[in-house]
Structure 1
Amino acid sequence: MKVEALIFNLIAVFCFVAALVYGVWSQEPIGTTALALSGGLTVLIGGFFWFVSRRIDARPEDRKDAEIADGAGELGFFSPASYWPITLAAAAGLMGLGVAFWYFWLILIATVALLIAVGGLLFEYYVGQNAQQS
C-alpha cells in the first residue's frame, strides 16, 4: 500500500502545483478550483492508503527484496459464472434513465430492480444450488 500512497500523493502535489500555476497565469477561477479539488481528492485517497499501509504487514509489492514467487498463492474467490453483475448494470442504467428524464415510475421500478440485483449478487453463494456447505 505504500507504493499506492506514494503515487496518489505525487499526483496530489502535481494537481496543487498545476492549480497554483494555472490560477496565476489564467486568472480563471473554475479551472483553478477544479485542479485544487482534484488535488484534495487524491490527498484523501493517498492518505487512506498511507494510513492502511502502516497497519498491515508489508506486501511483496512494498519490499525491494521481494521475488515474483512471493506474490503467488490464492488471491481470493471470484465467481466463475454469474448473471447478477449484468442485472446490476442494467438496473443501474435504468435508474440513470429514470433520473435523467425524471420519470418517477421508472425510478421506482429501477429501485426495486437495483435492490433485487444487489441482494442476488450478495447472497448468490449462500442460498440455492451454489450454497456453501458447512
Structure 2
Amino acid sequence: MKPEKYVFWFIFVYICIVTPVYWLMSREIAGTFVLGFTGLLGGMIAAYLTLTARTFGPRPEDRGDAEVVDAAGDVGFFAPKSIWPFWAAVTVSVIFLGPALHQAWISLLGVALGIWSCSGWVLEFYRGDYKH
C-alpha cells in the first residue's frame, strides 16, 4: 500500500499548502472551506492507508518477487441479480421530486418508500432463492 499511501500524503500536503494561498488571493470563504476539507479527507485516507500497511504488511502487488497466484483467492461476494438498486434509485427520485414540485407530501412518500427499499436491499439474502 506504499504507492497509495504516498499519493494521499502528497494530496494532503499539497492541499494544506494551497488552501491558505487561495484564501489570501481570493478572500472567498466557501472555496477555502472546501479546499480545507479536501485536504482533511486526503489526510484521513493517508492515515488509514499508513495504519493498514503496518497491520497487513506488504501486499502481493507491492512485492517485486510476487507471482500471480499469490494474489489469488476470493475477491468478495457479489449478488447475481437484484431489483433493490432500482427501487433505491426510484426512492431518491421521489424524495427529490417533492421539493421540485413544492409538495412536501411527495418527499414523505419517498421516505416511506426508502424505508421499504432499504430494508429489502439489506435483507435481500435472508429470504428467497439466495438465502444464506
- The question of a shared fold, defined as TM-score above 0.5 by the shorter chain, is answered with yes
In the TM superposition, residue 84 of structure 1 has moved relative to its aligned partner by: 0.8
Q: Give the corresponding residue for 1:94.
A: 94
Q: Give the corresponding residue for 1:122.
A: 122
What is the aligned residue count?
Answer: 131
Gaps of 5+ in 1: none
Q: Give the corresponding residue for 1:36.
A: 36
Partner AA of 1:29 in structure 2: E
Q: Structure 1: how far apart are the matches of 2:99 and 2:59?
A: 43
Q: Give the corresponding residue for 1:103.
A: 103
Flag as ranges the 4+ runs of structure 1 deviating above 6 A.
none
Q: Give the corresponding residue for 2:67.
A: 67
TM-score by length of 2: 0.79
In the TM superposition, residue 38 of structure 1 has moved relative to its aligned partner by: 1.4
Partner AA of 2:58 in structure 1: A
Go from structure 1 to structure 2 and tell me whether the alpha carbon gap of 1:47 and 1:115 turns closer, same or farther (over 3 Å shift).
Answer: same
5 Å-filtered alignment, 1:9-88, equals 9-24=9-24, 26-30=25-29, 31-88=31-88
Q: Give the corresponding residue for 2:131.
A: 131
Of 73-82 and 14-23, the range deviating more from structure 2 = 14-23
Q: Tell me, what secondary structure is at the counterpart of 1:65?
A: coil
In the TM superposition, residue 122 of structure 1 has moved relative to its aligned partner by: 1.4
Partner AA of 1:22 in structure 2: Y
TM-score by length of 1: 0.78
Q: Structure 2: how far apart are the matches of 1:94 and 1:63?
A: 49
Partner AA of 2:9 in structure 1: N
Q: Tell me, what secondary structure is at the counterpart of 1:82?
A: coil
Go from structure 1 to structure 2 and tell me whether the alpha carbon gap of 1:57 and 1:126 turns closer, same or farther (over 3 Å shift).
Answer: farther
Identity between Structure 1 and Structure 2 (%) = 34
Partner AA of 1:35 in structure 2: L
Q: Tell me, what secondary structure is at the counterpart of 1:128?
A: coil
In the TM superposition, residue 101 of structure 1 has moved relative to its aligned partner by: 5.2
Report the aligned-residue RMSD: 2.4
Gaps of 5+ in 2: none
In the TM superposition, residue 78 of structure 1 has moved relative to its aligned partner by: 0.6
In the TM superposition, residue 65 of structure 1 has moved relative to its aligned partner by: 3.1
